[in-house]
Structure 1
Amino acid sequence: MPTDLSRLCIHSITTKPWPLDVAIDKFSAAGIGGISVWQDAAEAIGFQRARQLLEASPLEVVSYVRGGFFPHHSREARQRALDDNRRLLDEAASLGAPLLVLVCGAEPRQSLTESRHQIQAGIESLIDHAAGCGVKMAIEPLHPMYADTRSAINTLGQANRVAEAIGHEQVGIAVDVYHLWWDDQLEEEIRRCGANDNLYAFHICDWKVPTSDMLLDRGLMGEGCIDVPRIRGWVEDTGFTGLHEVEIFSNAYWASDQDEFLQRILAAYRQHS
């Protein structure tokens, strides 16, 4: 179990009621190692101010969230998605974020196979721009319950196949336990990430039992049925030395006192990660 907070990162969405400037202050004061910044949080206070605050803090900027949503029924919509992603890569660079997390998207009016083809083509078309920005991209496979519109990449095996087909160091994978804990091929596919040296991010939380909302009822580590320490062991066996990113969407926790919630995050990280 982690004994300190140097490898703990918290996504700004986790403490959503706090503006980004407050989150930076609170995370820094708690001795947390890093922050992953969501686009709306940076936009709300302005990118220049966000960059200044991040540079002045001890926090490592781990990633910028989120790009993707490549598949669309029309060519024009696919082009708009690429334009949006180029802008997001620019924003990530402006904040000093080395990684843009990709929620890849899906188009329900076409097959998942076609959506996956469009995802791969979209990512490939961004490689030169991403390299010019100095920002890598991480494909994040999402739970199959999101295969309608949020992502046609639903297993780590699918993400590995896309990343391997692209075959570029600018493109890797984000492993999120909430989306992947159920997969009986998970250990093998994490090893596959390690063999390809493309495991770029590791996200943690828990699946509450019973869960009241498939999107907005994530739990703290140790609060549900995910064996986070076991999966972390598989991840670190690959040689991964990055931060452990707490990413929690929760109406219940967002409605609570955020200072108390932060202390609960720290305790859960130490005891159940």
Structure 2
Amino acid sequence: MHPDSNESPSRDRLAVHTITTKPWALPIAADRYAASGVTGMSIWVEAIEGMSNAEVRDIVNTSGLKVPALVRGGFFCDPDANERISRIENNRKLIETAAEISAEMLVLVVGATPGEPLELQRQWVREGIEALIEDAQSHNVQLAIEPLHPMYASDKSCINRMAEARAICESVRNPWVGIAVDVYHTWWDPDLENEIRLAGELNALFGFHLCDWRVPTRDFLNDRGLMGDGCIDIRGIRRMVEAAGFSGWNEVEIFSDEHWAGDQQVFLDKIIDRYSDC
């Protein structure tokens, strides 16, 4: 599709994160997504707790859904060097899980430790990612750094702008390392269009996550909006990533106490309608 087109993207690129319909267990989510014409399902690690990789793979295969991503790895930041090594080992296991369930990438929420210099923490993140590249390549799993909104800089992510994620990609210069662009976390950035272009030149645009920023926002974690219910120029950002060469999945990722409390099938139907509209 030409990036200037006003046409709605086809549903063959639509994926939904399991966290979006959190009340549904994985088998139900997979069944309902497939029945509704959704073609991809990004799986959160919380959704597969207590399940073997074989069980998850069987659910995925039965549904016919593709798995754009396993969400979330990362969390590299800790002042204790032994703890950082332990976290790298955990990410190695997640890469193996991603490969066994046919996930294209492992999304990395890189972590943060209150009180530690952000530049030092970004060094820990780079070192952690570098330690995982061989595993990612051998398992055919991409590593997608997800910048989080600056409100999470203290304790969830020391990578808050596309520029910081791109700097790591430029440092490691490896085709298995790229960026997941979440509109909720990046829409405010005045350099967003240029940073998306630069990431595209690096072939580092791996993921694209959709939701909306409610006005007013009642909770900064669990009050994301359905596309069209907020202030994000979703169509405009979609054009930016496509102009930069992105042709991957459009992944709906909505944290919402309001929507989780309702009928999940009604919510899924609304997601599909809004995906076409927005």
Q: One fold, TM greater than 0.5?
A: yes
**1:176 correspondence with 2:182:** yes
How big is the shift at 1:44?
4.2
The one-letter code sitting in structure 2 at the alignment partner of 1:55 is N
Question: Which residue of the other structure, out of 267, 273, 276, is the alignment partner of 1:267?
Answer: 273
**Does the 8 Å CA contact 1:73/1:109 hold for their aligned counterparts?**
no
Give the aligned partner of residue 186 of structure 1.
Answer: 192
3-state secondary structure, aligned to 2:93: helix
> Counterparts of 2:100 and 2:257 in 1: how far apart (Å)?
30
**1:248 correspondence with 2:250:** no
**1:208 correspondence with 2:214:** yes
Tell me which moved more, 38-47 or 134-143.
38-47
Give the aligned partner of residue 4 of structure 2.
Answer: none
Unaligned runs of 5+ residues in structure 2 are 1-6
Question: Which residue of the other structure, out of 103, 111, 117, is the alignment partner of 2:117?
Answer: 111
Tell me which moved more, 120-129 or 2-11.
2-11
The one-letter code sitting in structure 1 at the alignment partner of 2:81 is R
> Counterparts of 2:9 and 2:171 in 1: how far apart (Å)?
39
Give the aligned partner of residue 160 of structure 1.
Answer: 166
Give the aligned partner of residue 34 of structure 1.
Answer: 40
**Does the 8 Å CA contact 1:143/1:180 hold for their aligned counterparts?**
yes
- Count of residue correspondences: 272
**Cα distance per residue 1:155-192 (max 9 Å; x no partner):** 00111111110100110100000000000000000000
Question: Which residue of the other structure, out of 127, 130, 140, is the alignment partner of 1:124?
Answer: 130
> Counterparts of 1:132 and 1:4 in 2: how far apart (Å)?
32
3-state secondary structure, aligned to 1:168: coil
The one-letter code sitting in structure 1 at the alignment partner of 2:109 is V
**1:100 correspondence with 2:101:** no
How big is the shift at 1:43?
2.4
> Counterparts of 1:4 and 1:139 in 2: how far apart (Å)?
26
How big is the shift at 1:40?
1.5
How big is the shift at 1:45?
4.1
How big is the shift at 1:94?
1.1
The one-letter code sitting in structure 1 at the alignment partner of 2:45 is Q
The one-letter code sitting in structure 2 at the alignment partner of 1:189 is E
Q: TM-score, with normalisation over the residues of structure 1?
A: 0.97
> Counterparts of 1:68 and 1:195 in 2: how far apart (Å)?
24
How big is the shift at 1:239?
1.7
Give the aligned partner of residue 16 of structure 1.
Answer: 22
> Counterparts of 1:18 and 1:106 in 2: how far apart (Å)?
30
Give the aligned partner of residue 199 of structure 1.
Answer: 205
Give the aligned partner of residue 80 of structure 2.
Answer: 74
Q: TM-score, with normalisation over the residues of structure 2?
A: 0.96
The one-letter code sitting in structure 2 at the alignment partner of 1:166 is V
How big is the shift at 1:3?
5.5
**1:217 correspondence with 2:246:** no
The one-letter code sitting in structure 1 at the alignment partner of 2:167 is R
3-state secondary structure, aligned to 2:72: strand
Give the aligned partner of residue 258 of structure 1.
Answer: 264
How big is the shift at 1:112?
0.4
The percent identity for this pair of structures is: 47
**Does the 8 Å CA contact 1:20/1:45 hold for their aligned counterparts?**
no
The one-letter code sitting in structure 2 at the alignment partner of 1:144 is P
